[in-house]
Amino acid sequence: MRRGGAVLTSLGIGPDEEQVYRALVLRPSATVADLAAATYLAEADVAAALRLLRERGLASADGTEHLAAPPAVALGQLVRDRRDELRQAELDLILLAEAHRLAGDGRRASDVVEVITGVDGVRHRFFQIHQAARHEFRAFVRPNPAVVEAADHAEEEHALHRGVRYRVVLDRAVLSGPGMAQRATDTIAAGEEIRIADSLPLKMLIADNDLALLPLAPDSGGAAAILVHASGLLEALVALFEGVWERAYPLRTSPTGDDVIGRPAEVEELDTRILALLLAGLTDQAVAGQLDVSLRTVQRRVHALMEIAGVQTRIQLGWAAARRDWA
């Protein structure tokens, strides 16, 4: 059996495991002997590969029969984990490169990176960086803010009133929080631009191209952060934001907040809010909770939208909604 370039090795899956998994996904189920015949591997090697696949959640066993886990589910999480690891590695590399550059030109590291400790200190810097923005503010928002609660972000409103452009990327899990979908709608109506990413590597705030604030470590609990001043490191953080922003899904409402731009007469406000949350990755149950409607209502409206769009699947509905500017 051809290995197809062993493309899954980048996810930490060995060549034998990949070969067995590829053979397994082509069958409803298979025995060790079946897979050995399909892959030209020894039965002992197939059995060892299956054991590793089960440990990674890529396969399961029912007696002597083995079944492949759906690739979109099993491999999707591995891809997301590896992507986050690579992003973190890129940030670590940037920090090392910047430290090396500073050592060469005599500039002190403290001139570029300032370490802030303590909840009060981080909170103070949070408000300062909002107040420092004059032209544009960028942010990555992940779930469970530890230092400044989402409801306390009055500084955003003040900056918007000063004419500062706000661009925010939300980790899609943020929208599952109580009242967050409504808050996103309100802030968009106030002028904020919001996009949704499947996952974000870190929390981050950037004021203009002058300052950035981000956690010192993922597990710091918000009690420590670093303030990055204008430097090559800050430029890299801006580039990271712009790359994620480009790929993220936009949430939009009309200027009044009670309509969605481009919506045809058959599509109601509730429909567009349902579509926006579904396209952001929420489940039907989570959408129902956010909009304070029943699960049956969400499913009924989605079915009606599919009929209006003339499509058969939800994937097709997503394409139709994008083309028709429904969400």
Which amino acid is it at 300?
R
In a shared domain, residues 122 and 181: yes
Could you tell me the pTM of the whole model? 0.49
**Look-up of token digits 């002992």:** 44
- State the CB neighbour count (10 A cutoff) for residue 105: 6
- Determine the pLDDT at residue 105: 59
Listed residues 251, 284, 311: the one ending a domain: 251
Residue 181 inside a domain? The answer is yes
Residue 164 inside a domain? The answer is yes
User: Number of folded domains in the chain?
Assistant: 3
- State the CB neighbour count (10 A cutoff) for residue 215: 20
- State the CB neighbour count (10 A cutoff) for residue 204: 23
Residue 168 sits in a domain of what CATH number?
3.30.870.10
- Determine the pLDDT at residue 238: 92
- Determine the pLDDT at residue 317: 81
- Determine the pLDDT at residue 62: 85
Residue 318 inside a domain? The answer is yes
Tens digit of pLDDT for each residue in 298-309?
Answer: 888 888 888 777
Residue 28 sits in a domain of what CATH number?
1.10.10.10
Tens digit of pLDDT for each residue in 25-82?
Answer: 898 889 999 999 999 999 999 999 999 888 888 888 888 999 888 877 677 777 777 7
DSSP 8-state class, residue 128: H
Residue 28 inside a domain? The answer is yes
In a shared domain, residues 26 and 156: no
Q: Is 144 left (phi over 0), alpha (psi -120 to 50) or beta?
A: left
What string of pLDDT tens digits covers the 327 residues of the chain? 444 445 577 777 888 898 999 899 898 889 999 999 999 999 999 999 999 888 888 888 888 999 888 877 677 777 777 777 777 777 777 777 666 666 655 556 566 788 888 888 888 888 888 888 888 999 998 887 655 554 456 667 777 778 889 899 988 888 777 777 778 778 887 888 888 887 888 889 999 988 899 887 765 555 788 888 888 888 999 999 998 888 777 776 544 444 333 344 457 778 888 888 887 778 888 888 888 888 888 888 888 888 777 778 888 787 777 766 776
**Look-up of token digits 């083995």:** 66
Q: Where are the alpha helices (DSSP H) in 66-224?
A: 71-105, 119-132, 154-161, 180-189
Q: How far is residue 32's CA from residue 47's CA, in Å, rounded to a whole number?
A: 6
In a shared domain, residues 130 and 242: yes
Overall residue count recorded for the chain in this entry: 327
- Determine the pLDDT at residue 218: 61
Q: 125 is written with which tokens? A: 């810097």
In a shared domain, residues 14 and 43: yes
Listed residues 207, 225, 251: the one ending a domain: 251
Residue 319 inside a domain? The answer is yes
In a shared domain, residues 21 and 121: no
Contact 299, 269 (CB under 8 A): no
- Determine the pLDDT at residue 44: 94
- Determine the pLDDT at residue 128: 82
In a shared domain, residues 242 and 306: no
- Determine the pLDDT at residue 2: 42
- Determine the pLDDT at residue 305: 84
Residue 291 inside a domain? The answer is yes
- Determine the pLDDT at residue 30: 92
The helix or strand, by DSSP H or E, that contains position 33, with its residue range, turns out to be helix 32-39
- Determine the pLDDT at residue 253: 56
Residue 256 inside a domain? The answer is no
Contact 137, 128 (CB under 8 A): no
In a shared domain, residues 307 and 240: no
In a shared domain, residues 198 and 280: no
In a shared domain, residues 154 and 206: yes
> What 3-state DSSP class applies to 18?
helix
Residue 241 inside a domain? The answer is yes
In a shared domain, residues 247 and 160: yes
- Determine the pLDDT at residue 149: 52
Query: What residue numbers bound the domain in which 48 lies?
Result: 4-69
In a shared domain, residues 123 and 177: yes
Residues 6+ apart with CB under 8 A from 135: 164, 165, 208
For residue 194, list its beta bridge partners. Answer: 168, 251
In a shared domain, residues 187 and 245: yes
